[in-house]
DNA sequence: GGCCAGGTGTAAA
DNA sequence: TTTACACATGGC
């Protein structure tokens, strides 16, 4: 088991520090975030593809359940009996429907509004909701609540595995990448929360395309 | 046809 | 604490 103190890891870290995360290849995820859509997307994307999630979200918008108005969307969803028929494209639709509605109702019950939820919610509260695990919780905290926490996922894990560094434990993997993201503070005016968001997105985009580390660094 | 996708919860050993 | 399995559609 390698760790951040190993020579190979340090070598990698030094090279990745030179990576310009804010330019070149890759897109900003969740343009328009922070939004209640992030909460919905975080659940819908579980074991699914983003393209499928967009189809589900579009169905919910067409049905006038979700819109650009976060408070209205939260209110609408909390009053739904089921959204199964709208979210079939992204799979696991029965449990995702029940869990998303339950989450919306819990937000209303415990915070009263999406705005209050955004500023007051804790990681512990999120993890206590059925259907929200570590990755979904961190996605919501970073993308919807703009907290300084970085999401790690299957791709983050596989990227490091491909380099001979195997870190299975979520928080340990997260700490590894957050150390790296923290070196990007050199971008000054960009908030660290934004840097983490960009970094996670970029890692996924590159990993999906099976690009090498050299390609990642070159872009 | 088989495997995988920006996971999570539950049950059993 | 670890492992196995269900959940379900859609792309390649």
Q: Which protein residue lies nearest to nucleotide C9, measured between its Cα and the C1' atom? A: A91
First to last CA, chain A: 29
Residue A85 tokens read as 């028929």
Domain boundaries, chain A: 7-28+149-218, 36-144
Tell the CATH topology of A7-28+149-218: Endonuclease Iii, domain 2 (1.10.1670)
CB proximity A48–strand B (7 Å threshold): yes
Q: Give the bases of strand B that a protein CB approaches within 7 Å.
A: 5-10
CATH class of A36-144: mainly alpha
DSSP A142: I
Residue A154 tokens read as 């299957």
Tell me the CA–C1' distance in angstroms for A160 and C1.
25
Tell me the CA–C1' distance in angstroms for A149 and C2.
28
Residue A69 tokens read as 């108005």
CA pair distance A147, A129, nearest whole angstrom? 19
CB proximity A29–strand B (7 Å threshold): yes
pLDDT in tens, chain A (219 residues): 334 444 455 555 555 655 555 555 455 677 667 899 999 999 999 999 999 999 999 999 999 999 999 999 999 999 999 999 999 999 999 999 999 999 999 999 999 999 999 999 999 999 999 999 999 999 999 999 999 999 999 988 988 887 778 899 999 999 988 887 676 655 566 788 888 888 888 888 777 776 655 666 555
* A150-176 burial: b if 16+ Cβ within 10 Å, else e: bbbbeebbebbeeeebebeebeebbeb
């Amino acid at each position: 088991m390698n760790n951040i103190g190993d020579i190979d890891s340090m070598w990698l870290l030094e090279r990745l520090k030179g990576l310009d995360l804010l330019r070149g290849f890759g897109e900003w995820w969740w343009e328009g975030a922070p939004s209640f859509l992030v909460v919905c997307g975080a659940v819908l994307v579980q074991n699914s593809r983003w393209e499928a999630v967009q189809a589900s979200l579009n169905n919910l918008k067409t049905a006038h359940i979700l819109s650009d108005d976060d408070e209205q969307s939260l209110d609408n969803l909390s009053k739904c009996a089921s959204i199964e028929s709208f979210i079939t494209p992204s799979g696991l639709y029965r449990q995702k429907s029940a869990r998303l509605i339950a989450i919306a109702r819990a937000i209303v019950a415990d915070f009263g509004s999406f705005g209050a939820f955004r500023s007051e919610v804790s990681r512990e509260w999120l993890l206590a909701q059925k259907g929200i695990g570590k990755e979904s919780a961190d996605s919501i905290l970073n993308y919807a609540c703009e907290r300084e926490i970085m999401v790690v996922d299957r791709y983050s894990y596989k990227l490091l595995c491909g380099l001979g560094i195997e870190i299975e434990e979520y928080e340990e993997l997260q700490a590894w990448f957050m150390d790296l993201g923290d070196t990007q503070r050199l971008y000054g005016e960009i908030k660290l929360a934004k840097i983490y968001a960009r970094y996670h997105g970029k890692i996924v985009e590159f990993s999906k395309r099976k690009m090498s580390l050299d390609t990642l660094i070159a872009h």
